[in-house]
Amino acid sequence: MDTSLELPGVARLMTGPGGLPRYEITTPLAQAQIFLHGAHVARFTPAGQAPLLFLSEKSWFDPAKPIRGGVPVIFPWFGPRQGHPDAPAHGFARLRSWTPESLVQEPDGAVVLTLRLEPDDASRALWGEPADWVLRHRITVAATLTMELEIENRGNAPLRCEEALHTYFHVGDVRQIAVHGLEGAEYYDKADGMRRKRQDGEPIRFTAETDRTYIDTAGACVIDDPALRRRILVEKENSSSTIVWNPWIAKARSMPDFGDDEWPGMVCVETGNVADNALEIAPGARHLTRTVLRTEPR
């Protein structure tokens, strides 16, 4: 394990569960754990607060499987790959070991880790296109968590893909929360045959399995969590899709890497460009999706 990129006393590359290398970041502002596997932010806890992210007690830590919780990086397709039933759900980026490219601490104490992923034989076999691309995931650990997913098209043909930061948030009780910011937006309802619907003027509340891909929506979301007496702000740039998910009882039971009783403590509010908002990146161009996660007292 190349430990050349470390910050003594601040950011160390350790061997985590399943033998997976993991950065452990400790600053006065926040603590975080980031796996090279999938460039996966698994934990983020602002100083003096409850964890911001949900991580399942049952998660796998296996090079061949995704970590359950935190922030899976989804690329180059979202969900099942159309026409390829054997392809891994949500693409392959979250299943690859990414390469540390830079690690710096800024004057304000923020720690910035950049991880890189490039094509290899396995990804070419999976995706099939002779695409040439580079992904960079730039993660800033401070009192807020900033994640920037950059896709660079190094090929000479347009690069068509979907991408998302599939964030699992820790909440006190999903039955009490409300998600604001998607009022009036159209969405595909995966819990109802992918029917296309429109969110009314009310925030989202959770009374059953909820799995919605909101499209053509560029605004921030707010998760209002009375049980933890906080609001979580999910700000974003260059993202036209927001996906909202809670598995509820039956789906939770069906997932071996998700505890049967964990569903009340989480909600996914995901930032990306999927479905109608899939990307087409011109040769030589880059696309950068940014999300900033912060909390405020309720």
Q: Which residues are catalytic?
A: 166, 270
Helix (H) or strand (E) holding 251: helix 248-254
CB of 11 or CB of 268, closer to ligand TA6: 268
The distance of closest approach from Cβ of residue 168 to ligand TA6 in the complex, given in angstroms and rounded to an integer, is 9
Phi and psi (nearest 5°) for 190? -70, -20
Instruction: Name residue 114's amino acid.
Output: T
CB of 90 or CB of 231, closer to ligand TA6: 90
Nearest alpha carbon to residue 268 among 289, 292, 246, 249: 246
Nearest alpha carbon to residue 198 among 215, 181, 210, 211: 215
Question: What do you get for the CA distance between the two ends of the chain, in Å?
Answer: 43
CB of 116 or CB of 190, closer to ligand TA6: 190
CB-CB neighbours of 31 under 10 Å = 16
The distance of closest approach from Cβ of residue 272 to ligand TA6 in the complex, given in angstroms and rounded to an integer, is 9
The distance of closest approach from Cβ of residue 56 to ligand TA6 in the complex, given in angstroms and rounded to an integer, is 10
Chain residues in the site for ligand TA6 (CB under 6 A):
66, 79, 89-90, 166, 190, 211, 243, 245, 268, 270
Q: Token match 């880059």: residue?
A: 286
Where b means 16+ CB within 10 Å and e means fewer, 203-227 reads bbebeebbbbbbbebeebbbbebee
Please answer whether residues 267 and 52 qualify as being in contact, where contact means their C-beta atoms are separated by less than 8 angstroms.
no
The distance of closest approach from Cβ of residue 8 to ligand TA6 in the complex, given in angstroms and rounded to an integer, is 35
CB of 38 or CB of 46, closer to ligand TA6: 38
- Report how far residue 26's alpha carbon sits from residue 92's, in angstroms, rounded to the nearest whole number: 29
CB of 6 or CB of 189, closer to ligand TA6: 189
**Paired tokens of 291:** 């999300």
The distance of closest approach from Cβ of residue 291 to ligand TA6 in the complex, given in angstroms and rounded to an integer, is 15
Nearest alpha carbon to residue 183 among 227, 242, 237, 235: 242
Instruction: Name residue 229's amino acid.
Output: R
